[in-house]
């Protein structure tokens, strides 16, 4: 009976693997990852398109909502309601978690003795107090509303000596932490993310990224003429593109990255980047890319979403890819693409999570794509969560399932190897960590295995040392003198 059950389980796993492979083959985009040598490895699909939301198909109290125009951002409440910044229509559209029911449409609010409206709102965020923060871009302000739409306050007209004279505040993205500090990405603001207190006062910049100039560039700029210098790249800090805040108040911020090495940062309360870059040291999206063509060059990351348990996803507008990393900086999976088919985009602008699903907003097509996790994606997500929580051993069965679907998955091999390492099985840890190409933990496993072998054989080693010492003494005191005497008797002189 046990044998029959085992056969049935193997058949089921084979069907799951075949189903994942078929799903990946039928998708309009590639699903892949990179190995230790940056070779592309195609994988089963971690996510598949599971619906498309368009304003043209929605209705509120029987009336058509109308097509979205150039939507730029979205956020999700704790209850699962989805807020969409419908920028071109100067409104915020609120959807229920089923993404079919329209809760309400916010086109204005009562303040300063009259009805105020929006002008190109490009960012939305929700605080822990359920207040809605709207980056009302062309009105040069952040609007704060209660859940029922009651006006709370404006965040606008920042005043500080560090700001240039005549600076015009144009907010693009906004986020809020547990202390109601407001983080704003503003247009043409290269000094960093702007931070405002809970009262709306500007307190300074956050997470400034300085661009390093090489010695050769410094030397060349000294020799170049004024006209030549004007044509060269301006060495100014990098511009941020997306922002999210995790449960502990750490800020995840995506940025433009011309080198394709690091397009996201995890900023602590001091504004210091404490993100872990993983064994490959790359957080820039695609590691391999062409130098010519429409989609050439490094990934252009436009948004970031924190997924929980240390994981986060980046959205690439250049090739329409979604890259997901764990808390150690390991690249988990890649999917998505540019196009007009389900699951692809023309101009992806923002990404959010809704339960186990991912939502991607396309500003050019004016729609919202829903991605549902597959068996493969769910296994990886759950295993990463367990590992983040310190449950390495519980993650092992999940990693084993991942290997059955994707036998060369380096992260799964590393996960199993680390679990064996924690359990003290250094020999098996070395085996899986070598398959996972994880040099750091393999070195730890090897040292422990070597020390273990020394401890287990210490008596034998000591006995050998004692025996060798005794033989040496015997050689010096007895054998060697005897050989010398025998040699002298045979000496003809």
CATH code for the domain in which residue 97 is found:
2.120.10.30
CA 90 to chain centroid, in Å, comes to 31
Question: Residue 411 falls within a domain, yes or no?
Answer: no
Question: Residue 103 falls within a domain, yes or no?
Answer: yes
- Asked if residue 392 lies in contact with residue 386, where contact means CB atoms within 8 angstroms, the answer is yes
Span 264-304, pLDDT tens digits: 999 999 999 999 998 878 999 999 888 777 788 999 999 99
Number of domains in the chain: 1
Question: Residue 408 falls within a domain, yes or no?
Answer: no
pLDDT of 13 strictly over 70: no
- Asked if residue 284 lies in contact with residue 299, where contact means CB atoms within 8 angstroms, the answer is yes
| 222 band by pLDDT with thresholds 50, 70 and 90 | low
Instruction: Compute the average pLDDT of residues 150-171.
Output: 94
Taken in order 471, 476, 482, 488, the sign of the CA dihedral is: positive
pLDDT of residue 220: 53
Residues of the domain holding 335: 47-373
Question: Residue 252 falls within a domain, yes or no?
Answer: yes
Rg of the chain in Å (alpha carbons) = 30
E runs forming strands in 11-131 = 32-34, 40-42, 47-54, 59-60, 63-64, 73-76, 82-86, 91-95, 102-106, 108-111, 114-117, 121-126
Question: Residue 112 falls within a domain, yes or no?
Answer: yes
Mean pLDDT of the chain: 87
Question: Residue 442 falls within a domain, yes or no?
Answer: no
pLDDT of 190 strictly over 50: yes
Query: Please, where are the H alpha helices in 224-285?
Result: 226-231
pLDDT of 12 strictly over 60: no
Q: The pTM is what?
A: 0.84
Angle at CA 326, nearest 5°, toward 321 and 327? Answer: 135
- Asked if residue 260 lies in contact with residue 286, where contact means CB atoms within 8 angstroms, the answer is yes
- Asked if residue 83 lies in contact with residue 74, where contact means CB atoms within 8 angstroms, the answer is yes
Question: Residue 401 falls within a domain, yes or no?
Answer: no
Question: Residue 98 falls within a domain, yes or no?
Answer: yes
């Amino acid at each position: 009976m046990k044998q029959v059950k085992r056969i049935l389980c193997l058949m089921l796993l084979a069907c799951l693997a075949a189903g994942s492979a078929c799903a990946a083959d039928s998708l309009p985009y590639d699903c892949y990852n990179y190995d230790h040598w940056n070779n592309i490895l195609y994988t089963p699909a971690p996510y598949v398109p599971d619906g498309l939301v368009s304003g043209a198909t929605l209705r509120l109290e029987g009336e058509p909502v109308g097509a979205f125009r150039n939507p730029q951002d979205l956020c999700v409440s704790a209850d699962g309601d989805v807020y969409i910044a419908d920028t071109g229509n100067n409104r915020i559209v609120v959807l229920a978690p089923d993404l079919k029911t329209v809760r309400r449409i916010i086109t204005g609010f009562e303040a300063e003795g009259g009805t105020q409206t929006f002008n190109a709102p490009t960012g939305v965020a929700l605080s822990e107090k359920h207040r809605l923060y709207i980056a009302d871009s062309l009105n040069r302000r952040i609007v704060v509303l209660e859940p029922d739409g009651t006006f709370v306050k404006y965040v606008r007209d920042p005043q500080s000596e560090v700001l240039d004279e005549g600076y015009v505040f144009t907010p693009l993205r906004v986020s809020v932490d547990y202390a109601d500090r407001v983080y704003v990405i503003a247009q043409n603001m290269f000094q960093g993310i702007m931070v405002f207190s809970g009262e709306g006062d500007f307190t300074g910049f956050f997470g400034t990224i300085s661009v390093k100039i090489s010695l050769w560039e410094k030397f060349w700029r000294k020799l170049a003429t004024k006209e030549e210098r004007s044509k060269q790249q301006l060495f100014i800090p990098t511009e941020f593109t997306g922002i999210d805040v995790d449960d502990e108040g750490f800020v995840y911020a995506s940025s433009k990255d011309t080198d394709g090495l690091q397009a996201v940062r995890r900023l602590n309360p001091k504004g210091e980047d404490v993100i872990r870059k993983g064994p490959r040291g790359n957080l820039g999206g695609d590691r391999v890319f062409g130098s010519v063509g429409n989609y050439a060059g490094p990934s252009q990351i436009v948004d970031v979403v924190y997924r929980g348990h240390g994981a986060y996803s980046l959205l690439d507008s250049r090739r329409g890819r979604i890259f997901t990393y764990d808390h150690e900086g390991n690249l988990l999976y890649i999917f998505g693409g540019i196009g007009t088919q389900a699951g692809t985009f023309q101009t992806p602008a923002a990404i959010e999570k809704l339960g186990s699903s991912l939502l991607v907003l396309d500003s050019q097509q004016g729609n919202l794509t829903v991605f549902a996790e597959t068996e493969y994606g769910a296994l990886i997500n759950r295993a990463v969560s367990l590992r983040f929580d310190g449950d390495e051993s519980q993650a092992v069965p999940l990693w084993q399932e991942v290997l059955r679907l994707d036998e060369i998955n380096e992260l799964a091999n590393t996960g199993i190897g680390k679990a064996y390492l924690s359990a003290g099985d250094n020999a098996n840890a070395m085996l899986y960590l070598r398959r996972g190409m994880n040099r750091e933990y393999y070195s730890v496993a090897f040292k422990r295995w070597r020390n273990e072998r020394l401890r287990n054989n210490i008596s034998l080693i000591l006995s050998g040392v004692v025996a060798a010492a005794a033989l040496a003494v015997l050689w010096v005191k007895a054998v060697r003198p005897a050989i010398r005497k025998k040699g002298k008797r045979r000496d003809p002189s």
